[in-house]
Amino acid sequence: MSAAVRALIRLLPLLALALLFGVSAGHDWAGPTRLLQALGGAEDLRARLLLEWRLPRVLAAALVGSLLGLGGAIFQGVFRNPLAEPYLLGSAGGAAIGATVALLVPLGLPSALALGGLSFAGAWGATLLVLAVARGAGARDAAGLLLAGVAVAAMLGAIRSFLMLALSDESVSLQVVLSWTLGGIQTPTWSGLAWLAGLAGLAIGASLTLARGLDLLGLGDDQAEAFGLDTDRFIARAILVGAAVVALAVAYGGLVAFVGLTAPHIARWWVGPRHRGLLPVSAAIGAILVILCDGLARAVLPPAEIPLGLVTAAAGGPFFLALLRRRLRA
């Protein structure tokens, strides 16, 4: 049994505990008895709220988190840099511009389609722009790509702010977009959740086909080519998949920082750098992190809800530093 399968099996109880915490946490804490009653078919309002309101939201959080973990692992693999993450590299920023347009401009399309399609177009376009800018400047190494990504991300942030100011009027509330940019999981309908689950499953499947290529890329461009990888074509394909993963996460969860950076790190420390294990374990860890943070977002300041992006950044930062410290001392 490979290390990755063992790690996934060991993660299952943690995932179950996180789900339990997620369903319990909120303005109205639900103890184990209440949960069991609700699952047993209790008909009262609070039980139904738990099953029909909180459970789908927790499941959506799990899916968004797994996409963020997966996206981070793909981008770190493509850019061969542990600092690479969708937020640093402009792809999330591009997705955010697409989503801002979808939220503020009436396009006559179903909102889920507009949000998903424009987020994807933005994420993909932004990542290709980063690659083009880096290559145009003659940057062949990961540091050059990262710097190009930081520059593009900053420009995209400015464009998004401008769009928010220019496109909002009395008919569209800026509040909707603003709260979305701070990150937050909306409670989906069951059919919406099924869509998200199906798309996330496709994304994970597509990501796994990248595993060998990402491993080879980790050997360096020359060695990857020497071992028979068409690096240019592979990187283009990996970025397409990575952009789709990030766009899906951004469309459903807004801008949730830090999970894409943290989850692959924890996964790499656990199962090593081979992507066949790293990708699914990153996804699982991302799911756990977002379920926990979304639970905290609901429970810390009731009845108000803290934006999810603030919780992931506030909780993720120190957590990550602690792990880093332990790692450096080991």
Partner 1 sequence: MSRLRADSLTVMAGTRRLLDAVSVDLAPGALVGLIGPNGAGKSTLLRCLAGLLRPGGGAVTLDGAPLADLPSRERGRRIGYLPQSFQPAWDYTVGEVVALGASRRPGATLRIPDLLRDHELTGLGERRWSQVSGGERARALLAATLVAEPDVLLADEPGASLDIGHRIDLMRRLRDWSRRSIVVVVLHDIERAALDCDRLLLLEEGRIVRDGAAATVAGSPDLDRVFGIRFERGSLAGGADAVLMLERRP
Distance between CA atoms of 147 and 141, rounded to whole angstroms? 10
Closest separation in Å from C-beta 151 to partner 1: 22
Please report whether residue 274 would count as binding partner 1 according to CB under 8 A. Answer: yes
Closest separation in Å from C-beta 173 to partner 1: 45
Whose Cβ is closer to partner 1: residue 80's or residue 155's?
80
Please report whether residue 276 would count as binding partner 1 according to CB under 8 A. Answer: no
DSSP state, 172?
B
Within 13 A of 15's CA, how many CA atoms are on the CB side?
19
Instruction: Candidates 38-46, 97-105, 270-278, 285-293: pick the segment binding partner 1 (CB under 8 A).
Output: 270-278
Whose Cβ is closer to partner 1: residue 98's or residue 264's?
264
Closest separation in Å from C-beta 214 to partner 1: 10
Q: Contacting partner 1 (CB under 8 A), which of 83, 139, 272, 310?
A: 272
Whose Cβ is closer to partner 1: residue 38's or residue 261's?
261
Whose Cβ is closer to partner 1: residue 214's or residue 311's?
214
Please report whether residue 32 would count as binding partner 1 according to CB under 8 A. Answer: no
- CA proximity to 156, closest of 220, 92, 106: 92
Chain mean position to CA 300: 22
Please report whether residue 265 would count as binding partner 1 according to CB under 8 A. Answer: no
Whose Cβ is closer to partner 1: residue 58's or residue 229's?
229
Distance between CA atoms of 65 and 16, rounded to whole angstroms? 15
Distance between CA atoms of 297 and 306, rounded to whole angstroms? 5
Please report whether residue 250 would count as binding partner 1 according to CB under 8 A. Answer: no
Which residues in the 211-240 window bind partner 1 by CB under 8 A?
A: 212, 215-220, 222-223, 225-230
Closest separation in Å from C-beta 222 to partner 1: 6
Do residues 87 and 309 lie in contact, with contact meaning Cβ atoms separated by under 8 Å?
A: no
Chain mean position to CA 202: 15
Q: What is the CA radius of gyration of the chain?
A: 20
Which residues in the 117-146 window bind partner 1 by CB under 8 A?
A: 142
Closest separation in Å from C-beta 217 to partner 1: 8
Distance between CA atoms of 256 and 86, rounded to whole angstroms? 10
Which residues in the 62-81 window bind partner 1 by CB under 8 A?
A: 80-81
Tell me the torsion sign for CA atoms 92, 93, 94, 96: positive
Whose Cβ is closer to partner 1: residue 215's or residue 294's?
215
Within 13 A of 62's CA, how many CA atoms are on the CB side?
22
Alpha helices, DSSP H, located in the chain: 3-24, 32-39, 45-49, 55-79, 91-104, 111-136, 142-167, 174-181, 190-208, 211-217, 221-226, 231-253, 259-271, 275-299, 308-329
Residue 6, φ and ψ in degrees, nearest 5: -60, -45
Whose Cβ is closer to partner 1: residue 25's or residue 285's?
285
Instruction: Show the tokens assigned to 216.
Output: 């080879």
Whose Cβ is closer to partner 1: residue 85's or residue 215's?
215
Whose Cβ is closer to partner 1: residue 117's or residue 273's?
273
Distance between CA atoms of 88 and 92, rounded to whole angstroms? 8
Phi-psi bin for 112: left (phi > 0), alpha (psi -120 to 50), beta? alpha
Please report whether residue 44 would count as binding partner 1 according to CB under 8 A. Answer: no
Instruction: Candidates 7-15, 114-122, 269-277, 309-317: pick the segment binding partner 1 (CB under 8 A).
Output: 269-277
Question: Under the rule (CB under 8 A), what is the footprint of partner 1?
Answer: 80-81, 142, 212, 215-220, 222-223, 225-230, 268, 272-274
